[in-house]
Structures are given as C-alpha cells and as structure tokens.
Amino acid sequence: MNPGSDPRLLVIPQRLSGVKHIIPVMSSKGGVGKTLLSTLLALAGADKKLKVGLLDLDFTNPSTHIVLGIDPSSIQPVEEKGVIPPIIHGIKYMTLAMYTGENPTPLRGNAINDAFLEILAITRWGELDYLFIDTPPGLSDAQLNLLTYLPSRIEPLIVATPSPLAIISVEKLLRVLIEGKYRIIGLVENMSNNRKLLMIAQKYNIRYLGPIPYFKEIDNLIGNLEALRSSQFYGKIIDILEKIIYV
C-alpha cells in the first residue's frame, strides 16, 4: 500500500496532540548509548514529576525494558479505543516487547513501516510534557519514518561518541536534519572525557549538551533503578534533562 494513503496517518497527529515535546534520541552509529539515555531521561523526567512517556521504536532489538528492569511480557496494556500505555516507574511506556517478549522480531522494510504506523496510531499518550523515543542506529526505517511522518513535531536529540570513526557519520546525520529544517534539541557526547564534539555542535550551530564520561560500572547497574539513580551517570542525565527543559 502507498503509505501516503494509509488512514493511520490521520490518526497519529491526534494521538500525539497532547504531547508537548517529542524527542527521538538518534545517532548515526550503533552502541553509542541511545537506549540508556532515552530511558534514563524519561526516568529523570518522571522523578521530577514531569509527565513523560517512553516509546521504544527499536523494533528488531527493543531494550528499554532491560534498563527499566522489567519483564515486558508480564505487562498487559489496557485496550480501550486504542491502547493505554502502562505506567512504569512514573513513565507512560510503550514497546513492541510487550507483545513479542524476548522472541526475535526480524522485521524489514514494509513490516517495520507497518509496526511504526500501528504503534503510533493505537497508543493513547494523553497529556505529556515529554515523549522520549528510543530509535535504532543510523538513518534506518524508524528514524526515516519519524522524519517523514512527524516532521514538524519531532525535536531530535543526537548522541555520538568522539571516535574518529563516528565524527564523519554524525556530521552526515546532522546535515540531513539541518537540510530538512528539523529542530535539533542538541548534541550529547557520550563515553567521552573531553569535549571533542563541541566543535561539531558549533559548526552546525546546535546546542552542545555536554560530555558524559565513560563509567565502567554502568553495565552492572542496568535494570537496578535504585543503583542507577544514585550513580554519577544519572547525575549527568539530570544535567542534560535540565538543559533540555530550561532552554
């Protein structure tokens, strides 16, 4: 089907009409910390009593539930004129993993597009201050769908590491977003003890939201919210959230 004629495209803006800010966390490379950042930004928002949502759009590898320390197949989303996202640790939460559990979901092309339209068309977010979205890496279907279907609604947050292998690729992503006139909320430099990407942010005239150092203990804390909350990493997440909130 030509997606342009899909009736779900009419429903999606209504479903998101009560959401003030839609923040997809994007990167040009994999493994840079999008999942950890998007999930913990949502958690930090909930801790601040903001109305926050978290949507996992990494359909082939949803993993936000692992950060939250929950078994997604144990959650039964309530169906009522759509799906009401369950509230997990104060976050309105949606992930395909609630339907697939930990079974593999080797989707491609049309199936990803279909799952994207379906999850956005059925989910009743209600009123939210911030909806954080975890995305798969690179200009993949999920990212391109967000750019195509929600161009005036999204405010992408870019995550990158300072590796020489990553710098050219983050510039490519930034160029696509800038040429498309998307409102980029800022650039986070992750796993970095210096500010190597500051010059990239300056070159493209976007906000540099700071470096997050490499914390070698962080993997041991994943899924343990109390330990995560008291980590230095979480302190950095709160700093970034405050920069996003108090523009």
Ligand X SMILES: Nc1ncnc2c1ncn2[C@@H]1O[C@H](COP(=O)(O)OP(=O)(O)OP(=O)(O)O)[C@@H](O)[C@H]1O
Helices 34-47, 232-245: inter-axial angle, 10-degree rounding: 70
State in angstroms the smallest separation of the CB of 64 from ligand X: 9
Residues numbered 16-35 forming contacts with ligand X, rule: CB under 6 A: 27, 30-35
Residue number, 9 or 222, with CB nearest to Mg ion: 222
First to last CA, the chain: 41
> Which residue in 86, 215, 227, 243 binds ligand X (CB under 6 A)?
215
Q: How far apart are CA 208 and CA 185, in angstroms?
A: 9
What amino acid occupies position 12?
I
Residue number, 218 or 240, with CB nearest to ligand X: 218
Residues numbered 111-140 forming contacts with ligand X, rule: CB under 6 A: 136-137
Alpha-carbon distances of 35 from 27, 158, 222, 240, rounded to whole Å: 11, 12, 11, 15
Stretch that binds Mg ion, among 32-40, 176-184, 225-233, 237-245 (CB under 5 A): 32-40
Q: How far apart are CA 72 and CA 76, in angstroms?
A: 9
Residues numbered 119-138 forming contacts with Mg ion, rule: CB under 5 A: none
Query: For ligand X, how many residues bind (rule: CB under 6 A)?
Result: 19
Residue 212 engages ligand X in binding (rule: CB under 6 A): yes
Residue number, 60 or 148, with CB nearest to Mg ion: 60
Q: Which positions ≥6 away from 110 have C-beta within 8 Å?
A: none
Stretch that binds ligand X, among 15-23, 106-114, 139-147, 211-219 (CB under 6 A): 211-219
Six token digits for residue 221: 């804390």
Residue 218 engages ligand X in binding (rule: CB under 6 A): yes
Residue 219 engages ligand X in binding (rule: CB under 6 A): yes
Q: Which does 92 bind (CB under 5 to 8 A by kind): ligand X, Mg ion, none?
A: none
Residues 169, 10 contacting (CB under 8 angstroms): no
Six token digits for residue 66: 């692992």
> Which residue in 27, 35, 113, 145 binds Mg ion (CB under 5 A)?
35
Closest among 242, 190, 237 to 41, alpha carbons compared: 237
Residue number, 25 or 88, with CB nearest to ligand X: 25
Residues numbered 53-92 forming contacts with ligand X, rule: CB under 6 A: 58
Q: How far apart are CA 26 and CA 57, in angstroms?
A: 11
Q: Which does 166 bind (CB under 5 to 8 A by kind): ligand X, Mg ion, none?
A: none
Residues 93, 68 contacting (CB under 8 angstroms): yes
Report the residue number whose CB is nearest to Mg ion: 35
Q: How far apart are CA 147 and CA 135, in angstroms?
A: 12
Q: How far apart are CA 150 and CA 24, in angstroms?
A: 11
Sites of contact with ligand X (CB under 6 A): 27, 30-36, 58, 136-137, 190-191, 212, 214-215, 218-219, 222
Sites of contact with Mg ion (CB under 5 A): 34-35
